[in-house]
Amino acid sequence: MKFICGRDALNAVVTDASRAVAARSSMPVLEGIYLKAEDGGRLTVIGNDLEIAIESVIDADVREAGEVVLNAKLLARIIAASGDVSVSVETDSNNLTLIKSGNAKIEIPGIPSDDFPDLPHVDEEYSASLPAAVLKNMIETTAFAAAKTDNDPTRMGVQLKIAEHGLSMVALDGYRIARRIVELEGEYEPKEMIIPEKSLTELARIIGDYDGDVKIVAAPGHAVFTIDSCRLVTRLIEGSYTNYERIIPTSFDLELECSTAMIADSVRRASLIIINDVIKGPIKFTITDGNINVSCSTSAGSVDDNIAVDTPPDTMLEIGFYNRYLQDVFNVVPDDEIVMRFNKSVNPLIITPKEGNDYMYMILPIRLRSSY
């Protein structure tokens, strides 16, 4: 195999493919990137860790068709450090690969491509084209709430519902819920799927500033997302998603309109003394007439801050939260003002827009010592 292509183009697709490469595996081929050069000037680059696969196709000057698997970390470092606008890659019959750029020559061992896993074949049982920018925003404003580990694998995924005139996306981990709803023009065939959080996070990164459509093809077990010349293939999580709607409160003792920036900055300041997993404490909201006192006390120190708000007469509530759960929400809320809804100190906080239902965040509180 021998091909020459632009360094920037190769670097971009190697970077994308690296996101689907296993960090550590008993199978060295899963730590590698598959390269296939074809007559006619087509170079295919794939990373595949058996849960997610990312495939990109770019133009190249193919001098000799062939294929090889190269260690992803090593290949990425070499391409990123190349000193010329083009890169030449040449592999011999023993998979020894010579990479040249400018005056530099680097040889690395390759892995036989026969050992690289094939991408799953996904029948086009269902397909839809969704605006890339909308899909990316929905991922960035919900996926953070998915569980990192859980006995229920569905909680490690994000529920995507495609309805006739819009989308909804939900993630939860047992302590919080993030939901986004978006209306779209046109009509869509309804579909529901649970997608691994990692797959959606990588999809959002690949979308970047792309302003076209993302095509989704889904069949039992797998889905394919196509963005321009890049395909992301992911397994789908089987099972029934948590019936989260039954645990969201529908009535509230206290509803407050608050500046997003003010409450976010206050929580950020209170979090300064939470310096690691050992030295940590809850962020406490003490809500009284016309004021939210935001405080935190740990062995590293204490912080006390106040925000003026409109409250009903005789308001009094003390409630605590894990600081990161609050910050994750405030970092993605798009509005200048939000509505925070409370009941008792042991009941969840609900955060919504002042108007409409574009988003909803639910956060369970931490029981304060004074509540025992």
371 has pLDDT over 70? no
The pLDDT value recorded for residue 26 is 83
214 has pLDDT over 60? yes
209 has pLDDT over 60? yes
Least confident of 74-78, 351-355, 368-372: 368-372
User: pLDDT by residue (tens digit) across 355-364?
Assistant: 999 999 999 9
Q: Is 280 exposed, middle or buried (CB count within 10 Å of its CB: 0-12, 13-18, 19+)?
A: middle
Q: Which residue has the tokens 């991922």?
A: 139
Q: Residue 112 has which token pair?
A: 């036989």
Confidence grade of residue 367 (pLDDT, cut at 50, 70, 90): confident
The pLDDT value recorded for residue 370 is 55
- Per the prediction, the chain carries an average pLDDT of 95
User: pLDDT by residue (tens digit) across 254-290?
Assistant: 999 999 999 999 999 999 999 887 667 899 999 999 9
Beta strands in 252-358 (DSSP E): 254-259, 283-288, 291-298, 301-308, 316-321, 337-342, 349-353
85 has pLDDT over 90? yes
Q: Please report the domains of the chain, with CATH numbers, ordered by start residue.
A: 2-115 (3.10.150.10), 126-244 (3.10.150.10), 249-371 (3.10.150.10)
Nearest in space to 292 (alpha carbons), one of 334, 250, 329, 264? 264
The β-bridge partners of 230 are 56, 227
What pTM was estimated for this model as a whole? 0.92
Q: Residue 213 has which token pair?
A: 């459509």
The pLDDT value recorded for residue 218 is 95
User: pLDDT by residue (tens digit) across 33-45?
Assistant: 999 999 999 999 9
User: pLDDT by residue (tens digit) across 171-182?
Assistant: 999 999 999 999
Per-residue pLDDT, averaged over 193-204, amounts to 97
Percent pLDDT > 90 in the chain is 91
Q: Is 336 exposed, middle or buried (CB count within 10 Å of its CB: 0-12, 13-18, 19+)?
A: exposed
The pLDDT value recorded for residue 86 is 96
Confidence grade of residue 24 (pLDDT, cut at 50, 70, 90): confident
The percent of the chain in helix, strand and coil, each rounded to the nearest 5, is: 25, 45, 35
The pLDDT value recorded for residue 148 is 92
Question: Alpha carbon 167 to chain centroid distance?
Answer: 17
Per-residue pLDDT, averaged over 99-109, amounts to 95
